[in-house]
Amino acid sequence: MPERYKLLFETSSDAMMTVAPPGWKFTSGNPAAIKMFRVKDEKDFTSQDPGELSPEFQPDGKPSRIKSIEMINTAMEKGSYFFEWTHKRVTGEEFPATVLLSRISQGGKTYLQATVRDITADKQASQKIKELADAWDRTFNAISDVIFIIDADHNITKANNAAYAMLGAEPGSLIGKKCFEVMHKLDKPWPGCPMEKVNTDKQPHVEEIDDPAIGVPLLVSTFPLFNEKGEYTGVVHVARDISERKRIENDLRKEIESLERFQKITVDRELKMKELKAEIADLKNKLLRANNGNKT
């Protein structure tokens, strides 16, 4: 190995090793490989069978010894091959890794150099992101209000279960459709659409929408969304069925009207009673005066 490559090999933070035919055994390993696999030194490393540094089976169920030959053959044929692999330290601990196999010809001999990178932290981060995304989806879909994520051109990019239920649509079928086509059966935004206002001023807006095409009155709230650069990308559209609230309001309105009518009747009756009392008093006075006149 030329001196400059030998220096890179020995100082690399990635585990690097060479394997050679006929048995495809380890022929060298850099300090990072020694550390990664928890062996004593390079001599200890090259004494290990590559199969001993992998579990019996890979995640896809294939035996590691058989699959490793497939990877080697592919790299020899193509010149290089990059793939994920589950390795095992001499302590027995398994870990996920990426492996780059590169075909090298030197001094009339051909062998493979392997660059192995432990991606445990990456896998853990990906799993954490997935768990957070799953938790967000569960929360998103547990909300009873209808929620859409809509881009600035009115295209639906995400919808919760309540949205599909209200519209009687199959899960996933709303993605990519215009919100006004889905909600209002129109080819342009609903008049007074709060999203149109957000598109203009990038501020939250709230509107009551009572469209016969929807069938129920909705309280619609739209909140602007921005990307990491601060650029406006669309809205979160939240629609709440306010049928019950409207029913209660209507009942209260009727009750108030009824009370107002009753009050008017009562007041009118009271006024009438006062008028009758005044008329009776006036008649009594007239009668009294008439009686007094007869006596004289």
Domain 3-120: give its CATH code: 3.30.450.20
> Global pTM?
0.60
- How many other CB atoms are there within 10 angstroms of residue 136's CB atom? 10
* CATH class of the 143-241 domain in this structure: alpha beta
Q: Which helix or strand (DSSP H or E) is residue 71 part of?
A: helix 64-78
Task: For 227-260, write each residue's pLDDT tens digit.
Answer: 999 999 999 999 999 988 778 877 777 777 777 7
Q: Among all chains, which residue has been given the structure tokens 């049928």? A: 243
The fraction of the chain above a pLDDT of 90, given in percent, is 67
Domain boundaries, the chain: 3-120, 143-241, 245-296
Q: Does 143-241 match 3-120 at the fold level?
A: yes
37-78: pLDDT as tens digits? 999 999 999 998 888 899 999 999 999 999 999 999 999 999
Each residue of 73-97: pLDDT tens digit? Answer: 999 999 999 999 999 999 999 999 9
Tell me the C-alpha to C-alpha distance, in Å, between residue 194 and each of 53, 158, 246: 61, 18, 20
pLDDT at 166 over 70: yes
- In terms of Cβ atoms closer than 10 Å to its own Cβ (0-12, 13-18, 19+), residue 216 is middle
The β-bridge relationship of strands 80-88 and 218-226 is unpaired
